[in-house]
Structure 1
Amino acid sequence: MLAGGPSSTKAVNRGPFLADVVVVGAGPIGLSIAWRCAARGLRVVVHDPAPGSGASAVAAGMLSPVAEAYFGERQLTELLLASAARWPGFATELTEVTGVEIGYRTEGTLMVGLTGDDLAEARRLWAYQQGLGLPVTPLRPSELRDREPALAPRVRGGALAPTDHQVDPRLLVPALRVAAQRAGAVFVPQAVRHLSDVDAEVTVVAAGCGAAALTGLPVRPVKGQILRLRAPDGVAPGFRHVIRGYADGEPVYLVPRAGGEVVVGATVEERADTTVTAGAVQRLLRAGIDLLPELAEYDLVEAVAGLRPGTPDNAPILGPLPGRPNVLAATGHHRHGIVLAPITADLIADLVLGGASDPLLAPLRADRFGGAGSDGAEPTIMEGDRWS
């Protein structure tokens, strides 16, 4: 491993280690990596005291490479598109292997603006996205309401991103754990405090914000507050598409679930606490109800905050630590941990097994920030992969 050779071959010539691969963190990223590595014949151990208790329990699960294509993030957009293209096969394989439904839906995303100013801001972004060749179809208000009659009459216009899909992270994570276990991965309910304590040929750090203390990488917590509503009597919500938009300048997204749940999110705050604030709840509810008035009659069942692992350029950190080729980072996914799970798992598994470096990894190297990547002196880490 990490010494060349085809990535499809299984591990041979076992070394003097307890495991071929230790994965630190059992969020969607860590679990996907563990599944792919174990399925290729590697001895995989996953360390996390509470798998699935971090960010994945909070995240909305949007697979939105088009709607989340932002100015100045072209390389990240290319990565998002490449991973989203793998999601249909990834979802099918995961469901077949586990028999577990993961809430994968393909209705697409409607991007809308409530006021004239909101629509002008949205159109500026859509023009950029169309300039990248992305599938964005502008829609008049009447065309929007043909697709979603529950939209407020005040909505001034919108666009359709048909290839932006969704999955339910609270179903996805248990399915990934089952898949990894069935492939042979072993789970240890203990946190890793120092990388020197790991007995493995290769260590993969997929610990979300906790990667900073373990590795010295510039991964910071970015707080997000999110709400969950439920339609009256448990019926399906009165809309099918994911709806993303601006309402009097407030960005908001609305994600419908088959069981009647609607996810409303999310704030982006440069903070490290997980306190839910009244102001954030008020802003999210007001924006959501302005776009879909029927939400005013829904039950508010949860308000929760989590921490996304952000990096200075908003892109993930994937690959070996500087000077430590047997320690791989898979962190810093910020808002994109769910959509990037398939491609991250494939790229990291290829590195572990064959040492091959995909060109997609070049701009994501751990040394791109300069001087990062040493073992933290006081590794008091957050446990699990938060908000990915």
Structure 2
Amino acid sequence: MRTSDVLVVGGGLMGCGIALRLRQAGARVTVLERSIPGAEASSAAAGILAPQWESDGPGPFFELCLRSRALYGSFAAELRELTGVDIAYRPCGLLRIAFDEADLHHVESTVGWQHGMGLRAVLLDGQAARELEPHLSPKALGAAHFPDDHQVDNRLLVRALTMAAARVGTTFRSGHVSGIVHEGGRAVGVDLDGEVLRADAVVLAAGSWSSLVQGAGVAAQAVKPARGQMIQLQTRLPLLERVVTSAKGYLVPRADGRIIAGSTMEHVGFDKQVTAAGLARILDMALELCPDLGPAPVTETWAGFRPWTRDALPYIGEGPVPGLFLATGHFRNGILLTPITAKLVAQAVLGEKPSVDLTPFRYDRAPLTRG
């Protein structure tokens, strides 16, 4: 298999990461992308690496996210070595703020079960939270501090990972993949704008568009776009050191004074409009968390699509027919899960035993709750 051809459908972070790992293992790889690699969800995110903040409880998904977070330091160093691009990986920590008693109880519960797993999580009162972040709202009742939840500049990550995949010999082709080509009960290639491209393996990493690829075995409603609107504000000096979140959204501070604020979660099909109502919700959240952002100019707004699944779990590993592999449905955790997904899917394609049990993430799994 190490000298075989692999077609990767989708040139976002998942597709480029998988291509990088397959090329490093000796496979010949072509990435197929309908637009500019990384132009969709990969570039539209905020770059939060925060399994402890995001998770509802322990389970296979939480463990997968922790494993991927642990890879990021070496992943950033590898990309810098390959491309010269620093992806601004920052082990800055995260504060989850509570503004009412019910939310404070939720924060306390989260800290409790994570302590039970041996993870670092600290419960703070409002004053202690403001000692860490002096520009926090005086209305904050308390917070959970997750020092091991971090961030990366996802746009720099897109640039670096695309360059790295190309540098090790990945081929990139533009065009629309309308379907997977099957022969003898297995996937043998794709239809790219009417041209059949053949390969020994096909990896579907098309994000929110995965369900639109005919013959991939992904049901029409299995992966759907969830629109997320975002705002960038600019401050002269950084007002925050850590990622700061609440039940309503998040603020991600960059070292140059930019603050990324987000996000909405809307099921509106493939409508990528930025709306007044969406921006108003995000700005209200931002000012509630950090009132000193009031004078900050808005320098950019945008929207992107997260690949949503019913059980909030991704599809990773073998597909419904031999020769087809899936890497889609990562929803809000695509940036976080890029290193581990690339590793696991490459292992599956190469016929190796994946280093993580992929049963919870199979295409034919029973409905599961997120954990």
- Per the TM superposition, whether the score is higher than 0.5 is yes
CA deviation digits over 1:70-127, x for unaligned, max 9? 14x6221111011111111111111111110111100100111123343234334433
Shift of 1:220: 1.3
**1:301 corresponds to which residue?**
299
Q: Conserved in 2, the CA contact under 8 Å of 1:114 and 1:291?
A: no
Shift of 1:357: 3.5
In 1, distance between residues paired with 2:108 and 2:11? 39
In 2, distance between residues paired with 1:87 and 1:366? 27
In 2, distance between residues paired with 1:265 and 1:327? 35
Shift of 1:270: 2.5
Corresponding residue to 2:45 among 46, 59, 73: 59
**2:71 corresponds to which residue?**
86
Q: Does residue 211 of structure 1 match 2:215?
A: no
CA deviation digits over 1:225-249, x for unaligned, max 9? 1111111xxx332111000113xxx
Q: TM-score, normalised by structure 1?
A: 0.85
CA deviation digits over 1:42-78, x for unaligned, max 9? 111111132121012210010001111114x622111
Q: What amino acid is the match of 2:180?
A: L
Shift of 1:204: 0.6
Q: TM-score, normalised by structure 2?
A: 0.89
**2:24 corresponds to which residue?**
39
**1:373 corresponds to which residue?**
none
Corresponding residue to 2:327 among 326, 330, 336: 330
Q: What amino acid is the match of 2:19?
A: A
In 2, distance between residues paired with 1:68 and 1:91? 22
**Structure 2 alignment gaps of length 5 or more:** 182-190, 192-196
Shift of 1:325: 1.6
Corresponding residue to 1:356 among 353, 362, 369: 353
**1:386 corresponds to which residue?**
none
In 1, distance between residues paired with 2:139 and 2:323? 56
Residues 341-352 of structure 1 mapped to structure 2, 5 A cutoff: 341-352=338-349
Q: Conserved in 2, the CA contact under 8 Å of 1:66 and 1:135?
A: no
Say which structure, 1 or 2, has more relative contact order (CA 8 Å, 6+ apart).
Answer: 1
**2:227 corresponds to which residue?**
223
Residues 181-220 of structure 1 mapped to structure 2, 5 A cutoff: 181-196=166-181, 197=191, 198-214=197-213, 215-217=216-218, 218-220=222-224
Q: Conserved in 2, the CA contact under 8 Å of 1:34 and 1:44?
A: yes
In 2, distance between residues paired with 1:294 and 1:369? 47
Helix, strand or coil: the match of 1:347?
helix
In 2, distance between residues paired with 1:129 and 1:335? 20
In 1, distance between residues paired with 2:232 and 2:74? 28
Corresponding residue to 2:266 among 261, 264, 269: 269
Shift of 1:320: 1.7
Would you say how many aligned residue pairs link Structure 1 and Structure 2? 346
In 2, distance between residues paired with 1:89 and 1:200? 31
**1:240 corresponds to which residue?**
241
Q: Conserved in 2, the CA contact under 8 Å of 1:236 and 1:257?
A: no
Pair 357,56 (structure 1): closer, same or farther in 2 beyond 3 Å: closer
In 1, distance between residues paired with 2:276 and 2:114? 34
Residues 252-291 of structure 1 mapped to structure 2, 5 A cutoff: 252-272=249-269, 273-291=271-289
Identity %: 41
In 1, distance between residues paired with 2:324 and 2:331? 21
**Structure 1 alignment gaps of length 5 or more:** 2-10, 15-19, 371-388
**1:368 corresponds to which residue?**
365
Q: What amino acid is the match of 1:309?
A: P
Cα RMSD (Å) = 1.7
Helix, strand or coil: the match of 2:212?
helix
Shift of 1:133: 3.9
